[in-house]
A and B are shown apart, each in its own frame.
Chain A
Amino acid sequence: MTQATADACEQITSKTEEFVRSDRMPHIWCPGCGIGTTVNCFTRAIEQCGVDLNKLAIVSGIGCTGRVAGYLNLDSFHTTHGRAIPFATGLKLSNPDLKVVLYSGDGDLIAIGGNHFIHAARRNLDITVICVNNFNYAMTGGQVAPTTPIDAIGTTAPYGVCERSFNLPFLADSCGAVYVARWTAFHVRQLTKAMVEAVNKRGFSFVEVITPCPTLYERRNRLGDGLARMEWYKENSVIKHDADTRECDIDFQGKIVCGKFVDKEDVPSLLQKRNQKTEELRVKGIACD
């Protein structure tokens, strides 16, 4: 057994069942898909956070990753493609006692939902965003995404992508995220820890997880199966905490910089700022009690 499978097995034997809707199994994900691995990490993370599960809501957009909401035994919202963040914005602001976690794909969060992503980061909205980056639009059959590395192949770029791809940690960082980390599906322990930190963070926290989509991205680019990919992540990840996020670009088959890049204190979150404003208005007799 490789290190990767050993780690994966250990994760599966955690108390995952408690957190998933067993009446919705089997899930739709392919064998070797990385999304399930991230979900294992997430269930372990929320167990470690000690959050009240009745006060934890999960919001997804549309995509293979978007199905995560439906499998977790939490208040869960499977919204529209790209719009998980604005939905979560309303949910959190109307019910601040909730912890709100977004769980969605790279296309969903960064292409169609990119505008919402940058604004939620700018606002320092009190949510956690977990982006499963499998370098493509998987649900619709492997089209290119803004995250597909230059020269990689997708069904809508059969001769290779000519566009530069997004560097998500840099995007999140430059827009104001107070917590930014990137791991791969191989780094289950580190990923779990990052999820714990992100969920506990006040303000806009962002975790990118590089995951295999063996059925589409890996197959089309001849990169082997899910397991081969884990080995590849292991060999090609460079852990660099506090790395300058400008240097976290991912080239086709290039090194993947992983780590915790941003962890800021003392930046008021949207809710903190809003509560402070309400208090000021209350003193002035403008806001109601």
Chain B
Amino acid sequence: MSAEQKGVLTGAHYLDGDHACSEGAIVAGCNFVAGYPITPSTEIVERIAWRFPATGGTFIQMEDEIASSITIQGAVWGGAKAMTVSSGPGISLMMEHIGFAAMTETPCVFVNVQRGGPSTGLPTLPAQADMMQARWGSHGDYEIIALSPNSPQECFDLVIEAFNFSEKYRSPVMFMMDESVGHMTEKVVIPTPDKIKTIPRKFTSKAPGDYKPYEVSSGLVPDMCKAGDGHRIHITGLTHDEKGYPVMNADCQEKLLTRIVGKIRDNVDDIAMYDEDEIEGADVVVISYGITSRISMKAIRAARQQGVKVGHIRLIVVWPFIENYVKKLAGKVKALVVPEINLGQVVLEVERCAAGQCKVVSVPHAGGAVHEPETITKAILEAVK
């Protein structure tokens, strides 16, 4: 299905990543946003508050992020497409409800414009240090989908994908921006609606009485419904059966979690999004994501000029991780180099997948700035030795 006409600002704009994210959400059909101001994400909710009257959406500034993160889920069960937006401290407050969304299979988008942490950290400066939090932050076993844009254009394009994944997999999706992408201004082209693919919610066609909110007919993702349609559903964060009724035993837990985790794990190939550059015959491959991918490109060019065969994988979807791909790749190269604005997070996943087949080199950065390209070039040159 293509995007609805209402609210699409087709044309070329100069927007920062935050504003582009708001426009992307609108195009994706988002009509409910709850948020609480926090740098460097605030501009997203400000633009939403300004734009929503024209697109028919509802924005509410809640009393805190704990509230925002579940207000959006109430809105989803009322029939809306919803997101919340925050950064470090606020995202930390939302964790319980990311688990609630995973458990109740409530499609929604959490935007995290990452800043330096822990705690209040560096409110106005970039980091990519919440990647493991995005993956593991809420308690219990679940899988998450997380995307990482590297430009304002991608803040627009990929937040649409984030909504699409949330609907397709009935899952919370983390949209992992960072301060530099959020605050950089670049050209953003908004296509005509017919060129934008949006996935509408798959509502049940069953009659009240027949519909069960957690029953799957095919695949692993049950159809949705909304309150007020006569289904008299029960939704709980407790372990539940197909009807949504709480069942407190290990069998039900296993059945439910196997499906919830499986719907993502079994579809890594469908969810995966990455850019490949000169992987064939490479001795070293850089694996990067988000803003660091742009610095990496510069670093890679410099290394190539020195005669090193360097390839580049840019992860667009970071979670679920492209495990099989990296496993195979590790068997063909001398080293994998992983620059990220944290002290080593996604590199752990790379190491796990490489399983000793090749060198894995972390290029950490504590946050507050992006890498100097030379640091990454140096790491590549060392790695190839």
The answer, yes or no, to whether B168 is at the interface (CB within 8 Å) is no
CB-nearest residue of chain A to B236: A78
Chain B residue nearest in CB terms to A62: B237
Contact (Cβ within 8 A) B32 A93: yes
Task: Kindly state whether residue B100 has any CB partner on chain A within 8 Å.
Answer: yes
A94 with B58: CB separation less than 8 A: yes
Contact of B70 among A21, A53, A55, A80 (CB under 8 A): A80
* B78 in contact with A89 (CB, 8 Å): no
- How does the 8 Å CB contact mask read for A74-102 relative to B, with 1 for contact and 0 for none? 11111110010111111111110110000
A74 CA to B233 CA in the complex, in Å?
7
Chain B residue total in the interface (Cβ 8 A): 48
Selected contact of B63 from candidates A53, A115, A281, CB within 8 Å: A115
Tell me if B1 counts as interface (CB < 8 A to partner A). no
The digit string for B66-98, where 1 denotes a CB below 8 A from any CB of A, is 111011111111111010000000000000110
- Is B97 within 8 A of A286, CB to CB? no
Query: Could you mark each residue 20-53 of chain A with 1 if its beta carbon is under 8 Å from any beta carbon of chain B, else 0?
Result: 0101100000000000000000000000000001
* Cross-chain contact of A93 among B60, B96, B237 (Cβ < 8 A): B60
Residues on B with C-beta less than 8 A from A90 are: 32, 34, 60, 70-78, 80, 82
User: Are A87 and B73 neighbours in the complex by a CB distance under 8 Å?
Assistant: yes
Identify which of B6, B60, B232 contacts A74 (C-beta below 8 A): B232
* Any B CB within 8 A of the CB of A104: no
Interface residues of A in 231-261 (CB under 8 A from B): none
The answer to whether B77 touches A80, judged by C-beta atoms less than 8 angstroms apart, is no
Residue A272 lies at the interface, judged by CB distance under 8 Å to chain B: no
Known: A77-B235, A98-B227. A83 touches B79 (CB 8 A): no
Q: Which of A73, A88, A95 has the most CB of B within 10 A?
A: A95
1/0 per residue, CB under 8 A from A, across B208-240: the answer is 100000000000000000111111111111100
**Taking chain B's interface residues, is the majority helix, strand, or loop, or is none over half, making it mixed?**
mixed
Query: Is B100 in contact with A79, judged by CB distance below 8 angstroms?
Result: yes
Q: Does B193 contact A (CB under 8 A)?
A: no
Q: A77-B235, A83-B97, A94-B32 are in contact. Are A288 and B60 (CB under 8 A)?
A: no
Contact for B53 among A73, A74, A95, A287, CB less than 8 A: A287
Chain A nearest CB, measured from B178 CB (Å): 27
Q: Which of B7, B53, B231, B246 has the most CB of A within 10 A?
A: B53
Q: Which residues of B contact A115 (CB under 8 A)?
A: 63-64, 67
The size bracket of the interface on A is: 35 or more
Please, which residue of chain A has its CB at the minimum distance from the CB of B238?
A: A78
Do A75 and B70 have beta carbons less than 8 Å apart? Answer: no
Partner of A95, one of B6, B62, B228, B237: B228
Question: Shortest CB–CB separation between residue A224 and chain B, in angstroms?
Answer: 31
Inter-chain contacts of B238 with A (CB < 8 A): 78
Bound-state CA distance A50–B226 (Å) is: 22
Q: A90-B75, A90-B76, A288-B54 are in contact. Are A116 and B63 (CB under 8 A)?
A: yes
A95 touches B226 (CB 8 A): yes
Separation in Å of the A71 CB from the closest CB of chain B? 9
| Residues of chain B with a CB closer than 8 A to A286's CB | 53-54
Q: How far is the CA of A42 from the CA of B96 in the complex (A)?
A: 30
Q: Which residues does chain B contribute within 8 Å of A74, judged by CB atoms? A: 232
| Closest CB in chain B relative to A43 CB, distance in Å | 14
Q: How far is the CA of A76 from the CA of B53 in the complex (A)?
A: 30
Determine the chain A residues whose CB is within 8 A of the CB of B71 once the complex forms: 86-87, 89-90
Chain A contact residues, CB within 8 Å of chain B: 21, 23-24, 53-55, 57, 59, 69-70, 73-80, 83, 85-95, 97-98, 115-116, 119, 274, 278, 281, 286-288
Shortest Cβ-Cβ A-B pairs, 7 listed: A90-B74, A95-B78, A94-B78, A90-B75, A86-B67, A91-B74, A78-B236
